[in-house]
Amino acid sequence: MTSSSSPFNLQTCARPNILALQPYRCARDDYKDDGTNILLDANENAFGPSLPPSLTSADLSLKTLNRYPDPHQGPLKTLLCDLRNASPPPNQIPTPAPLTAENLFLGVGSDEAIDALLRSFCVPGRDKILVCPPTYGMYTVSAHTNDVSLVSVPLLPAPTFGPDVPALSAALEADKTIKILYLCSPGNPTGSLIPPKDIVELLSHKTYNGIIVVDEAYIDFAPASSSAAPLVTAYPNLVVLQTLSKAFGLAGVRLGAAFAAKEVAGLMNALKAPYNISTPTSILASAALSKEGVAEMEASRSKIVEQRERLVAALPSIKGVGRLRGGEAANFLLFEILNQKGEPDNTVAKGVYERLAAGRGVVVRFRGTEFGCLGCLRVTVGTEEEVTRFLGEVGKVVEEVWGEVGA
C-alpha cells in the first residue's frame, strides 16, 4: 500500500487534547539574534553560571559517559537539602524537621515535576487543577497535555497580586475533583511573594484532599528565609518547586527540584524515567551547589538586586512608563506602558515591545493580554550595561510609538 492510499489520518488518530496544543513560543522566536541583542525576556541570569572558577572540562568526567548516570542522585539531592536547611524556615508552627534526600524529586527543569505531579494525582478526563492567573503558563500546557481540566481563581488585583485565600478555599471546598493547586511565589509575571501565612492557611484546609504546589523558581532573589521548602516535612500535601535555571544561572543544564513529603517524593520518583538527570548535568549542578559555587551565586545575585533597585528608581521618571505592577522579589519587573492620555494601553505596549526588539536589539516580553496586566511589559534585570541600554531606549521608543498610533 502506498502512502497516498494509507487510511492513516492524523486528525482522527491523535488524541484531541494533543492536537489542540501549540508549540512553546518565546520572544526570541520573533527576532533573530545576531549577537548584538540584549536578552531581557526570559528571566535568565545575565551574569552567567554560578560555577567555581577552578572548574575545567576535565571535571565533566567525559570518559564516564559510556555509563548510565546515577538514577537516584543522592549526593546532589543532599547538596540541595543543605542549601535550604542552612536558611531558617518561615516563622510557622510546627517547626519542621530538616530536609533529607528522601524529600526530593529531581527533573529536567521544574516542568518535569509539574507534569509528574499531574500524572501522579490527576485522572485524565476526570480531575482538575486550580491555577491563579496571571501565572506561569506551563501549568495550563501540562494540564491540557494530560487531559486534565482547569479551574481558575485570579490573584488579587495589582499591585498586590496575592492569592485570594477565601476564594481559593471556597473553590477547594466546592469541587472535590480539584487535585492540585498551583501557586507561584515569587509570581511570574508578577514578581510578588506569597506570605507564608497564606500558604499555611491553605494547607490547613479542613476538607481538601489534594496537593498544594508552591513554585519557587525565583526564590533566591527574594528576602532571606522566604522559601516554603523546609515546611514540606511538616505538611504532607505541600510540594515546593525550585530550579537552578535562575539565580544559579544554569538554565542550559535543565535541572529542577521538587521538595515534598517522603511519600509524595517517593511516588514521583517511582514514575520518572530511570536516568532522567544526565551525568554532565549532575556534575555541573553539584559544582554550583558547592560552597564555592554558592558564593558565586550570591555575588551575582547581589549585582542583580542592585540593578533591580536601579530600575525601580529610574523607570517612574521616564515619560510613557507607568506604574510598577506586582512585587520586587524576582529578577524581573512588570510595569505599565501608557498612551498619551496616561492610561495603560496594549496597543502602545505591544508597539514598544516590537520596536525595542526589531529596531533597538532589546528583547523584553509583552504581557498585556494576561489577567490584570493591561499595557504591561516584563523586563528581566540584566547587567549594568544592559540596564543602561534599556533605560536609554525605552522612553525614546514610547514617543515613537505614540507618534505612529496618533498618526
Q: How far apart are CA 283 and CA 42, in angstroms?
A: 25
Among 261, 289, 317, give the residue marking a domain's end: 289
Q: How far apart are CA 272 and CA 78, in angstroms?
A: 19
In a domain, 264, yes or no: yes
pLDDT score for 369:
95
pLDDT score for 245:
94
Whether pTM exceeds 0.85 = yes
Taking only the tens place, the pLDDT of each residue in 301-340 is 999 999 999 999 999 999 999 999 999 999 999 999 999 9
In a domain, 164, yes or no: yes
Among 241, 260, 289, give the residue marking a domain's end: 289
Domain of 396, in residue numbers: 20-48+298-406
| Burial status of residue 400 (CB atoms within 10 A of its CB: 0-12, 13-18, 19 or more) | middle
The three-state secondary structure class of 365 is strand
201 and 347 together in one domain: no
In a domain, 315, yes or no: yes
Residue 235's contacts (CB-CB under 8 Å, 6 or more residues apart) are 200, 203, 261
Regarding beta strands 362-363 and 38-39, do their DSSP bridges make them parallel or antiparallel, or are they unpaired? parallel
The structural domain count of the chain equals: 2
306 and 388 together in one domain: yes
Taking only the tens place, the pLDDT of each residue in 284-306 is 999 999 999 999 999 999 999 99
Asked if residue 153 lies in contact with residue 202, where contact means CB atoms within 8 angstroms, the answer is: no
Q: Which among 119, 274, 333 has a CA at the least distance from the CA of 211?
A: 119
77 and 194 together in one domain: yes
365 and 250 together in one domain: no
Taking only the tens place, the pLDDT of each residue in 342-380 is 999 999 999 999 999 998 999 999 999 999 999 999 999
In a domain, 89, yes or no: yes
Taking only the tens place, the pLDDT of each residue in 81-101 is 999 998 777 765 566 899 999
Asked if residue 349 lies in contact with residue 358, where contact means CB atoms within 8 angstroms, the answer is: no
107 and 199 together in one domain: yes
Structure-block grid coordinates of residue 147? 487531559
221 and 118 together in one domain: yes
Mean pLDDT of the chain, nearest integer: 88
285 and 303 together in one domain: no
Asked if residue 363 lies in contact with residue 37, where contact means CB atoms within 8 angstroms, the answer is: yes
In a domain, 12, yes or no: no
Paired strand residues for 362? 38
Residue 170's contacts (CB-CB under 8 Å, 6 or more residues apart) are none
- For residue 340, the domain's CATH number is 3.90.1150.10
Average pLDDT score over residue span 227-249: 94
Among 260, 289, 318, give the residue marking a domain's end: 289
In a domain, 10, yes or no: no
Residue 153's contacts (CB-CB under 8 Å, 6 or more residues apart) are 130, 131, 132, 164, 167, 168, 171
256 and 378 together in one domain: no
273 and 234 together in one domain: yes
In a domain, 154, yes or no: yes
In a domain, 122, yes or no: yes
171 and 257 together in one domain: yes
266 and 310 together in one domain: no
249 and 356 together in one domain: no
Rounded to whole angstroms, what are the CA distances from 15 to 9, 76, 303? 12, 37, 47
- For residue 117, the domain's CATH number is 3.40.640.10
